[in-house]
Amino acid sequence: MEMNTTHQASGPVIRTAGLTRHFTRNKQTIEAVRGLDLEVAAGELVAFLGPNGAGKSTTLRMLTTLIAPTAGSATVAGHDVVRDRAAVRRSIGYVGQGNAAGHQYRGRDEIMCQARAHGLSRRDARTRTEELLEAFDLTEHADRPVAQLSGGQRRRLDVAIGLVQEPPILFLDEPSTGLDPQNRVNLQEQVRRLNAELGTTIVLTTHYLEEADALAGRVIVIDHGQVIADDRADALKSALGDLVAMDFASADAARAAATRADRIEGAQVTVTGSHVAVRAAFGRDAAPTLVADLAAAGTPVTRIEVVGPTLDDVFLDLTGRSLRETSTTPSASTEGAAA
Ligand SMILES: Nc1ncnc2c1ncn2[C@@H]1O[C@H](COP(=O)(O)OP(=O)(O)OP(=O)(O)O)[C@@H](O)[C@H]1O
Protein backbone atom coordinates (compact mmCIF):
# COMPACT_ATOMS: atom_id res chain seq x y z
CA MET A 1 0.00 0.00 0.00
CA GLU A 2 1.45 3.36 -0.94
CA MET A 3 1.38 5.88 1.84
CA ASN A 4 2.73 9.31 1.25
CA THR A 5 1.08 11.70 3.65
CA THR A 6 1.83 11.95 7.33
CA HIS A 7 -0.69 13.02 9.93
CA GLN A 8 0.65 15.53 12.40
CA ALA A 9 1.48 14.14 15.83
CA SER A 10 0.75 16.54 18.69
CA GLY A 11 -1.29 16.47 21.92
CA PRO A 12 -4.18 14.18 22.82
CA VAL A 13 -6.61 13.50 20.00
CA ILE A 14 -8.93 11.49 22.22
CA ARG A 15 -9.86 12.66 25.68
CA THR A 16 -12.55 11.23 27.94
CA ALA A 17 -13.65 12.38 31.37
CA GLY A 18 -15.87 10.16 33.50
CA LEU A 19 -17.22 8.57 30.32
CA THR A 20 -20.11 6.33 31.34
CA ARG A 21 -22.76 4.29 29.58
CA HIS A 22 -25.61 2.38 31.12
CA PHE A 23 -28.06 0.07 29.39
CA THR A 24 -31.36 -1.14 30.72
CA ARG A 25 -32.29 -4.75 30.13
CA ASN A 26 -35.20 -6.49 31.81
CA LYS A 27 -35.53 -3.49 34.15
CA GLN A 28 -31.94 -4.00 35.26
CA THR A 29 -29.23 -1.42 34.78
CA ILE A 30 -26.09 -2.67 33.09
CA GLU A 31 -23.10 -0.44 33.74
CA ALA A 32 -21.27 -1.19 30.51
CA VAL A 33 -18.72 1.63 30.87
CA ARG A 34 -18.01 3.16 34.26
CA GLY A 35 -16.29 6.55 34.45
CA LEU A 36 -13.51 6.21 31.91
CA ASP A 37 -10.76 8.85 32.08
CA LEU A 38 -8.49 8.48 29.13
CA GLU A 39 -6.11 10.40 26.91
CA VAL A 40 -4.75 9.12 23.62
CA ALA A 41 -2.05 11.18 21.93
CA ALA A 42 -1.85 11.73 18.19
CA GLY A 43 0.00 8.89 16.50
CA GLU A 44 -0.55 6.33 19.26
CA LEU A 45 -1.49 2.72 18.56
CA VAL A 46 -3.69 1.60 21.42
CA ALA A 47 -5.32 -1.76 22.09
CA PHE A 48 -8.28 -2.11 24.42
CA LEU A 49 -7.86 -5.60 25.84
CA GLY A 50 -10.54 -7.26 27.91
CA PRO A 51 -12.91 -10.22 28.08
CA ASN A 52 -16.30 -10.37 26.35
CA GLY A 53 -18.67 -7.85 27.85
CA ALA A 54 -15.92 -5.71 29.41
CA GLY A 55 -17.22 -2.56 27.71
CA LYS A 56 -14.75 -2.23 24.85
CA SER A 57 -17.28 -1.96 22.01
CA THR A 58 -19.51 0.36 24.00
CA THR A 59 -16.55 2.69 24.53
CA LEU A 60 -15.73 2.64 20.82
CA ARG A 61 -19.34 3.25 19.89
CA MET A 62 -19.42 6.33 22.12
CA LEU A 63 -16.14 7.64 20.70
CA THR A 64 -17.43 7.15 17.16
CA THR A 65 -20.74 8.93 18.02
CA LEU A 66 -22.89 5.86 17.37
CA ILE A 67 -24.31 5.98 20.89
CA ALA A 68 -24.42 8.82 23.42
CA PRO A 69 -22.81 8.60 26.85
CA THR A 70 -25.10 8.34 29.87
CA ALA A 71 -22.68 10.61 31.76
CA GLY A 72 -19.26 12.14 31.35
CA SER A 73 -17.79 13.50 28.15
CA ALA A 74 -15.39 12.76 25.33
CA THR A 75 -13.68 14.67 22.58
CA VAL A 76 -12.20 13.17 19.45
CA ALA A 77 -9.94 15.32 17.26
CA GLY A 78 -10.98 18.22 19.48
CA HIS A 79 -14.70 17.76 18.81
CA ASP A 80 -17.29 16.79 21.39
CA VAL A 81 -18.84 13.40 20.60
CA VAL A 82 -22.33 14.63 21.50
CA ARG A 83 -22.35 18.26 20.35
CA ASP A 84 -20.13 17.92 17.25
CA ARG A 85 -20.98 14.50 15.92
CA ALA A 86 -20.53 15.42 12.28
CA ALA A 87 -17.08 16.91 12.91
CA VAL A 88 -16.01 13.81 14.84
CA ARG A 89 -17.22 11.58 12.02
CA ARG A 90 -15.27 13.58 9.45
CA SER A 91 -12.06 12.92 11.40
CA ILE A 92 -12.38 9.19 11.93
CA GLY A 93 -12.63 5.83 10.27
CA TYR A 94 -14.54 3.04 12.00
CA VAL A 95 -14.71 -0.68 11.38
CA GLY A 96 -17.39 -2.21 13.59
CA GLN A 97 -17.91 -5.81 14.55
CA GLY A 98 -20.57 -6.56 11.97
CA ASN A 99 -20.10 -6.97 8.26
CA ALA A 100 -20.75 -3.57 6.77
CA ALA A 101 -20.39 -4.59 3.16
CA GLY A 102 -23.54 -5.06 1.06
CA HIS A 103 -24.12 -8.54 -0.20
CA GLN A 104 -25.03 -8.35 -3.86
CA TYR A 105 -21.97 -6.33 -4.92
CA ARG A 106 -18.53 -7.59 -5.75
CA GLY A 107 -15.78 -6.89 -3.22
CA ARG A 108 -13.87 -4.76 -5.73
CA ASP A 109 -16.94 -2.56 -6.33
CA GLU A 110 -17.47 -2.07 -2.60
CA ILE A 111 -13.99 -0.66 -2.17
CA MET A 112 -14.18 1.40 -5.38
CA CYS A 113 -17.47 2.86 -4.26
CA GLN A 114 -16.03 3.95 -0.89
CA ALA A 115 -12.97 5.43 -2.56
CA ARG A 116 -15.12 7.47 -4.96
CA ALA A 117 -17.39 8.53 -2.08
CA HIS A 118 -14.30 9.89 -0.34
CA GLY A 119 -13.48 12.03 -3.35
CA LEU A 120 -10.77 10.04 -5.12
CA SER A 121 -10.66 10.33 -8.90
CA ARG A 122 -11.68 7.22 -10.82
CA ARG A 123 -8.04 6.46 -11.57
CA ASP A 124 -6.82 6.96 -7.98
CA ALA A 125 -9.78 5.00 -6.67
CA ARG A 126 -8.87 2.11 -8.93
CA THR A 127 -5.22 2.17 -7.82
CA ARG A 128 -6.20 2.36 -4.17
CA THR A 129 -8.69 -0.48 -4.59
CA GLU A 130 -6.09 -2.76 -6.14
CA GLU A 131 -3.58 -1.89 -3.38
CA LEU A 132 -6.09 -2.77 -0.67
CA LEU A 133 -7.23 -5.97 -2.39
CA GLU A 134 -3.59 -7.00 -2.64
CA ALA A 135 -2.76 -6.01 0.95
CA PHE A 136 -5.62 -8.06 2.31
CA ASP A 137 -5.09 -11.03 0.06
CA LEU A 138 -8.44 -10.48 -1.64
CA THR A 139 -7.43 -10.05 -5.26
CA GLU A 140 -8.55 -13.50 -6.34
CA HIS A 141 -11.92 -13.09 -4.60
CA ALA A 142 -12.56 -9.52 -5.74
CA ASP A 143 -14.99 -10.42 -8.52
CA ARG A 144 -17.26 -12.63 -6.44
CA PRO A 145 -20.42 -11.25 -4.85
CA VAL A 146 -19.77 -10.43 -1.20
CA ALA A 147 -22.49 -12.87 -0.17
CA GLN A 148 -20.34 -15.71 -1.49
CA LEU A 149 -17.25 -14.80 0.53
CA SER A 150 -16.28 -16.63 3.71
CA GLY A 151 -16.55 -14.89 7.07
CA GLY A 152 -12.82 -14.25 7.17
CA GLN A 153 -12.75 -12.88 3.62
CA ARG A 154 -15.64 -10.58 4.43
CA ARG A 155 -13.92 -9.39 7.58
CA ARG A 156 -10.83 -8.53 5.56
CA LEU A 157 -13.00 -6.63 3.10
CA ASP A 158 -14.58 -4.68 5.99
CA VAL A 159 -11.20 -3.61 7.25
CA ALA A 160 -9.99 -2.74 3.73
CA ILE A 161 -13.07 -0.51 3.30
CA GLY A 162 -12.31 1.16 6.65
CA LEU A 163 -8.82 2.03 5.43
CA VAL A 164 -9.85 3.52 2.08
CA GLN A 165 -9.76 7.17 3.06
CA GLU A 166 -6.74 6.94 5.37
CA PRO A 167 -8.42 8.80 8.24
CA PRO A 168 -6.23 10.52 10.86
CA ILE A 169 -7.95 8.50 13.60
CA LEU A 170 -9.05 4.93 13.07
CA PHE A 171 -11.21 2.78 15.35
CA LEU A 172 -11.24 -0.97 14.77
CA ASP A 173 -13.60 -3.15 16.78
CA GLU A 174 -12.15 -6.65 17.01
CA PRO A 175 -10.68 -6.42 13.52
CA SER A 176 -9.14 -9.87 13.52
CA THR A 177 -11.93 -11.94 15.00
CA GLY A 178 -12.71 -14.73 12.57
CA LEU A 179 -9.43 -14.46 10.68
CA ASP A 180 -7.04 -17.35 10.41
CA PRO A 181 -3.59 -16.83 11.97
CA GLN A 182 -1.93 -15.88 8.69
CA ASN A 183 -4.49 -13.22 7.85
CA ARG A 184 -4.39 -11.99 11.42
CA VAL A 185 -0.69 -11.37 10.99
CA ASN A 186 -1.33 -9.63 7.62
CA LEU A 187 -3.86 -7.39 9.25
CA GLN A 188 -1.56 -6.54 12.12
CA GLU A 189 1.09 -5.59 9.62
CA GLN A 190 -1.34 -3.27 7.83
CA VAL A 191 -2.31 -1.68 11.13
CA ARG A 192 1.30 -1.16 12.14
CA ARG A 193 2.23 0.32 8.76
CA LEU A 194 -0.69 2.70 8.82
CA ASN A 195 0.41 3.85 12.25
CA ALA A 196 4.12 4.05 11.48
CA GLU A 197 4.03 5.45 7.97
CA LEU A 198 1.04 7.76 8.09
CA GLY A 199 1.03 8.51 11.80
CA THR A 200 -2.60 7.40 11.99
CA THR A 201 -3.88 7.24 15.56
CA ILE A 202 -5.35 3.76 15.94
CA VAL A 203 -7.59 2.44 18.69
CA LEU A 204 -8.58 -1.19 18.39
CA THR A 205 -10.29 -3.68 20.63
CA THR A 206 -9.24 -7.26 21.01
CA HIS A 207 -9.51 -10.20 23.31
CA TYR A 208 -6.50 -11.85 21.71
CA LEU A 209 -3.63 -11.52 24.15
CA GLU A 210 -1.13 -12.20 21.39
CA GLU A 211 -2.56 -9.41 19.29
CA ALA A 212 -2.32 -6.80 22.02
CA ASP A 213 1.21 -8.02 22.65
CA ALA A 214 2.31 -8.13 19.02
CA LEU A 215 1.12 -4.64 18.21
CA ALA A 216 3.32 -3.61 21.14
CA GLY A 217 1.93 -0.14 21.52
CA ARG A 218 -0.07 0.85 24.54
CA VAL A 219 -2.42 -1.70 26.09
CA ILE A 220 -5.43 -0.53 28.05
CA VAL A 221 -6.84 -3.45 30.01
CA ILE A 222 -10.58 -3.11 30.62
CA ASP A 223 -12.71 -5.19 32.92
CA HIS A 224 -16.29 -4.55 34.07
CA GLY A 225 -16.36 -1.18 32.33
CA GLN A 226 -13.23 0.17 34.01
CA VAL A 227 -9.58 0.58 33.12
CA ILE A 228 -7.57 -1.75 35.34
CA ALA A 229 -4.17 -1.26 33.69
CA ASP A 230 -2.76 1.10 31.09
CA ASP A 231 0.82 0.83 29.86
CA ARG A 232 3.03 -0.68 27.20
CA ALA A 233 2.68 -4.46 26.97
CA ASP A 234 6.32 -5.01 27.92
CA ALA A 235 6.03 -2.66 30.91
CA LEU A 236 2.89 -4.41 32.15
CA LYS A 237 4.65 -7.74 31.91
CA SER A 238 7.99 -6.75 33.40
CA ALA A 239 6.23 -5.15 36.37
CA LEU A 240 4.73 -8.55 37.07
CA GLY A 241 8.00 -10.45 36.66
CA ASP A 242 8.99 -13.98 35.68
CA LEU A 243 7.53 -17.11 37.13
CA VAL A 244 10.03 -19.60 38.54
CA ALA A 245 8.22 -22.91 39.09
CA MET A 246 10.11 -25.55 41.09
CA ASP A 247 9.42 -29.09 42.30
CA PHE A 248 11.09 -30.73 45.32
CA ALA A 249 11.38 -34.23 46.71
CA SER A 250 9.06 -33.46 49.63
CA ALA A 251 6.75 -30.82 51.07
CA ASP A 252 9.32 -30.14 53.82
CA ALA A 253 12.00 -29.42 51.21
CA ALA A 254 9.52 -27.15 49.39
CA ARG A 255 8.81 -25.17 52.58
CA ALA A 256 12.53 -24.76 53.26
CA ALA A 257 13.07 -23.62 49.67
CA ALA A 258 10.21 -21.13 49.97
CA THR A 259 11.89 -19.51 52.97
CA ARG A 260 15.01 -19.01 50.89
CA ALA A 261 13.10 -17.77 47.83
CA ASP A 262 11.37 -15.21 50.05
CA ARG A 263 14.70 -13.39 50.31
CA ILE A 264 14.59 -12.48 46.62
CA GLU A 265 13.57 -8.83 46.45
CA GLY A 266 9.89 -8.32 45.73
CA ALA A 267 9.27 -12.06 45.33
CA GLN A 268 5.78 -13.48 45.71
CA VAL A 269 6.13 -17.08 46.84
CA THR A 270 3.42 -19.75 46.87
CA VAL A 271 3.88 -23.30 48.14
CA THR A 272 1.55 -26.10 47.07
CA GLY A 273 2.66 -29.46 48.47
CA SER A 274 6.11 -30.12 47.03
CA HIS A 275 5.73 -27.34 44.42
CA VAL A 276 6.99 -23.78 44.85
CA ALA A 277 6.06 -20.91 42.55
CA VAL A 278 8.09 -17.72 42.75
CA ARG A 279 7.01 -14.61 40.90
CA ALA A 280 9.80 -12.02 40.83
CA ALA A 281 10.83 -9.09 38.63
CA PHE A 282 14.18 -10.64 37.70
CA GLY A 283 13.27 -14.26 38.43
CA ARG A 284 15.18 -15.48 35.38
CA ASP A 285 18.40 -13.87 36.66
CA ALA A 286 17.87 -14.98 40.25
CA ALA A 287 17.09 -18.63 39.39
CA PRO A 288 20.65 -20.04 38.97
CA THR A 289 21.82 -18.68 42.35
CA LEU A 290 18.66 -19.93 44.01
CA VAL A 291 19.13 -23.42 42.56
CA ALA A 292 22.78 -23.52 43.72
CA ASP A 293 21.82 -22.25 47.21
CA LEU A 294 19.10 -24.86 47.55
CA ALA A 295 21.42 -27.68 46.49
CA ALA A 296 24.03 -26.50 48.99
CA ALA A 297 21.38 -26.38 51.73
CA GLY A 298 20.44 -30.03 51.07
CA THR A 299 17.05 -29.30 49.44
CA PRO A 300 17.82 -29.69 45.73
CA VAL A 301 15.33 -28.75 43.05
CA THR A 302 14.06 -31.80 41.13
CA ARG A 303 12.49 -29.79 38.31
CA ILE A 304 12.58 -26.11 37.43
CA GLU A 305 10.85 -24.03 34.80
CA VAL A 306 11.24 -20.30 34.24
CA VAL A 307 8.41 -18.70 32.31
CA GLY A 308 8.30 -15.09 31.17
CA PRO A 309 5.05 -13.28 32.01
CA THR A 310 2.22 -13.04 29.48
CA LEU A 311 -0.52 -10.44 29.32
CA ASP A 312 -2.82 -13.17 30.60
CA ASP A 313 -0.70 -13.36 33.76
CA VAL A 314 -1.09 -9.60 34.06
CA PHE A 315 -4.87 -9.94 33.78
CA LEU A 316 -4.89 -12.86 36.22
CA ASP A 317 -2.83 -10.87 38.70
CA LEU A 318 -5.20 -7.91 38.47
CA THR A 319 -8.52 -9.75 38.51
CA GLY A 320 -7.90 -13.26 39.81
CA ARG A 321 -9.33 -14.57 36.50
CA SER A 322 -7.68 -15.72 33.33
CA LEU A 323 -8.53 -13.74 30.21
CA ARG A 324 -8.27 -16.91 28.17
CA GLU A 325 -11.03 -18.49 30.21
CA THR A 326 -13.27 -15.44 30.57
CA SER A 327 -13.33 -14.81 26.81
CA THR A 328 -15.24 -17.07 24.55
CA THR A 329 -12.58 -18.14 22.14
CA PRO A 330 -13.97 -17.63 18.69
CA SER A 331 -14.17 -20.82 16.69
CA ALA A 332 -10.72 -21.44 15.24
CA SER A 333 -11.58 -19.62 12.07
CA THR A 334 -14.43 -18.72 9.82
CA GLU A 335 -12.03 -18.68 6.87
CA GLY A 336 -13.25 -20.75 4.04
CA ALA A 337 -16.69 -21.20 5.62
CA ALA A 338 -18.48 -20.22 2.44
CA ALA A 339 -15.58 -20.38 0.04
N1 LIG B 1 -27.54 -2.34 23.34
C2 LIG B 1 -27.34 -2.94 24.50
N3 LIG B 1 -28.35 -3.23 25.33
C4 LIG B 1 -28.15 -3.83 26.53
N5 LIG B 1 -26.94 -4.19 26.98
C6 LIG B 1 -25.87 -3.94 26.21
C7 LIG B 1 -26.01 -3.33 24.93
N8 LIG B 1 -24.78 -3.19 24.38
C9 LIG B 1 -23.92 -3.72 25.28
N10 LIG B 1 -24.57 -4.17 26.38
C11 LIG B 1 -23.96 -4.79 27.57
O12 LIG B 1 -22.92 -3.93 28.02
C13 LIG B 1 -21.81 -4.71 28.47
C14 LIG B 1 -20.57 -4.32 27.70
O15 LIG B 1 -20.70 -4.75 26.36
P16 LIG B 1 -19.61 -4.46 25.22
O17 LIG B 1 -20.17 -4.97 23.93
O18 LIG B 1 -19.20 -3.06 25.28
O19 LIG B 1 -18.41 -5.39 25.69
P20 LIG B 1 -17.09 -5.80 24.89
O21 LIG B 1 -16.00 -5.63 25.85
O22 LIG B 1 -17.02 -5.05 23.63
O23 LIG B 1 -17.31 -7.32 24.62
P24 LIG B 1 -17.26 -8.13 23.23
O25 LIG B 1 -15.86 -8.53 23.08
O26 LIG B 1 -18.16 -9.29 23.50
O27 LIG B 1 -17.78 -7.22 22.16
C28 LIG B 1 -22.21 -6.16 28.31
O29 LIG B 1 -22.74 -6.61 29.54
C30 LIG B 1 -23.30 -6.11 27.26
O31 LIG B 1 -24.18 -7.18 27.40
pLDDT, mean of each 10-residue run, the chain (339 residues): 49 94 93 96 94 93 95 97 93 78 78 85 93 90 87 85 87 86 84 88 90 87 94 89 93 94 90 94 87 92 92 87 66 37
Q: Which CATH superfamily is domain 12-237 in?
A: P-loop containing nucleotide triphosphate hydrolases (3.40.50.300)
Q: Could you tell me if the CB of 58 is within 6 A of ligand 1?
A: yes
Burial of residue 113 (CB within 10 Å: 0-12, 13-18, 19+) is middle
The pTM score is 0.82
- For 81-112, b/e burial (b = at least 16 CB within 10 A) is beebbebbbebbbbbbbeeebeeeebbbbbbb
Angstrom distance (rounded) from CA 63 to CA 81: 6
CATH 3.20.20.70, applies to 242-308? no
Ligand 1, residues 33, 52, 220: which to mutate, most atoms within 8 A of Cβ?
52
Q: Look over the chain and give the mean of its residue pLDDT values, rounded to a whole number.
A: 86
Q: Cα(first)–Cα(last) distance of the chain, in Å?
A: 26
Say how many Å lie between the CA of residue 284 and the centre of ligand 1. 40
Ligand 1, residues 24, 27, 58: which to mutate, most atoms within 8 A of Cβ?
58
Q: Could you tell me if the CB of 25 is within 6 A of ligand 1?
A: yes
What residues pair up with 21 in beta bridges, in sequence order? Answer: 33
* % helix, strand, coil for the chain, step of 5: 40, 25, 35
Region(s) of the chain under CATH 3.40.50.300: 12-237
Say how many Å lie between the CA of residue 34 and the centre of ligand 1. 13
pLDDT in tens, 68-116: 999 999 999 999 999 999 999 888 988 888 655 556 788 899 899 888 8
- Residue 169's H or E segment, with its range, is strand 169-173
Say how many Å lie between the CA of residue 49 and the centre of ligand 1. 14
The pLDDT score that the predictor gives to residue 240 is: 86
Q: Could you tell me if the CB of 182 is within 6 A of ligand 1?
A: no
User: Looking at ligand 1, which atom is closest to the CA of residue 225?
Assistant: 14
The pLDDT score that the predictor gives to residue 183 is: 81
Q: Could you tell me if the CB of 57 is within 6 A of ligand 1?
A: yes
Ligand 1, residues 34, 49, 57, 323: which to mutate, most atoms within 8 A of Cβ?
57
ipTM metric = 0.95
User: Looking at ligand 1, which atom is closest to the CA of residue 55?
Assistant: 18
Q: Could you tell me if the CB of 55 is within 6 A of ligand 1?
A: yes
